[in-house]
Chain A
């Protein structure tokens, strides 16, 4: 018997209309856990490196995490992976809510979708009954609206729906997949739309078995209680009305303008009133006591839910205030667009207009005010109408299509992906490495365990480390105790810190646990309920597999290295690993490149950022080394390949 997982994948071919329930190999669980880990292996094995993301051969994989459906609280984030037309690399995306656990109760660990349907369809899964159904009646419907319509159509309020909106249908690169006011961003909605898959509706009523039930239940209830009571986890932005940090320090418009004195007491009172006058409630995801999502009903607009920095992106791009974000977010959520990337694309377009690279002719009948312009651009982009068709390809690709100097305005992307709009002074070593080498495309998907800033006094630092349960090794306590100035830290410590930060994300995204109670949250206060010291026991009790800290760490290294190999095969090289040039005002190219080389060495990668055979074999990835050698990406004499340009399969 399989524990914590069902042992089955659902394989769907939309071109042929075939549906198969396929038993999986338990050894994959031992090596890659689940979620993104196993998805990376499937993408490596089954999607040839030269496959265009819009090819029917591209796969779209919805994965549950290994702990989904078990009593482990906050294990509910569904992982979506595919290849993105924006980056030509592996897309890494997640959404909270109820979908993943429901899929497990239906009897599947993941859905692997290939091919393309002739017209819009949806997938209906009710335990062993799986059907590809016509969805032409849902064309143009909003994401939440689609969920509601399907619940009525299927006469089942408990069905869980993940859907795309108009943006996904029209293959907008920033399109998201939405479920229950949660959103999977970063390049997955476009592929769901390309496959003509409007929605997946899933309902499960099967048992999920647990290896050591009573012990796991007891341990999980203690963690659940800690989560409920602790202020050290969850999204503090859902309740903290002082948001001066983002507004005074992040850049507005097209990641361009700092407004250091923007925040005021009067403004905070006004914004707080807007929020509480229109907030229905705060909601949580499956089996999690935190209330990270604020649900807002703005007059005349669809009800929506937001969390974290998502509430700031639209009004900061438009130089407006919170009421504008509240007005547009419900509309944007129904269209299904990424609230991090989309406002930047719009602000980029308006900058090009101001610079004369685009002209009024490109924006026929556009209103004169910022509010009106953003709504106008949203409509153009999700319909791919006029200039919207160009902008729908995201900043980097749009800049190339527009030409005429537009590329200079593409100044906030890495690996062709829009970054969080932060423009600071002096280069921060850990953040340099994280933005440069992260393959989850957003700083929020790699930062998180080690604090962002030192504490001012030794006494405070001693107090902090005295109850720091999350550290993988005592050396991190030492690093923190000795850390006085933000940018002044040894390269050795920087490599260790970045590695730990990254480790927890790779573990979360394979287990399905949420970053707000784990990987993302430790940097603010250190007191996270899930960490490298207690997760092995939870995995062991749930699955019956033997697991300890060293084994789990090796799992992280294996999955991380495999993801790197997947992307290296598609052309990712050192030259692509650059934070935006103006991310910091003062740069030190020589130091940065030395640090990058050290980090590559630390990771077991050569000077091009390609994992070496030795590193791959140590992680049971000998088959990856063979593949990379066959392609000439790795040569038998690795030192010969180091430093010189490698075979460029696809340019990204």
Chain B
């Protein structure tokens, strides 16, 4: 309903104050299925082109999903966290324990992992999201280290420092057994990644996503618009936890083993590095960063593990000093593109 007193007098006054200007076309979101579809095509092509590297490719898909979930928290909501591995690791352990003790069906296990990740985020978020900035960051570290300690202590369930193993996955959908070459694992991981990527896109492009992005850019403004800031962030964190849990479940199922490194600070830090490398906030950057970093690590891992640190350390410093966006623009100019 319009305020009848507002239309004419303001327009009249405005017309006096300045001549009528044409309307600029409205901002529009890209179709949410476009990037996931491209990803599906590229992923399948990679699987077909490198059939002997399916283990690595599967790892890239799973890492991509994990960093995607991190992007929701860090890039979209603006909450820098170094404890995201807790959500991944608990999803992995939940799926592994479920396969070992209850049922070996992969999709059920995936569901269990998703629920585990979401629940962990729900419970920890209720505490964590009352804080901001550096305090929030350090508390995420505390929570994930506490989770790690508890998992190490509960040896009977988790295998402690030795890890959880001895479970074998049943065939996917009852028909596709996990083969030694890793074909089923790769396609399974890719499809889950593509579907959850699509879900993430829709969430970011929804009114909820807009509000969360608003909270990221200016919390005071959102409070002044009547947004229940804590509730929105809590829901976002829980959704991100679900995605991280899914990634963890995939990791457990495709590797048939879960180790305490899936809960480590190093994993959280690595994921954050991958995200910043690829560009936070756009979702696609998460996938780019995960791919580039994992490929680099893999190629350099065969060489001296310390020398690989030279490469990645130098790359990180370079990326900060010369941001990729500027590098792309410079490249385009050199190639004769339009300014």
* A and B are partners in one complex rather than unrelated chains: no
Listed in ascending order, the chain B residues whose CB lies under 8 Å from chain A are: none
Listed in ascending order, the chain A residues whose CB lies under 8 Å from chain B are: none
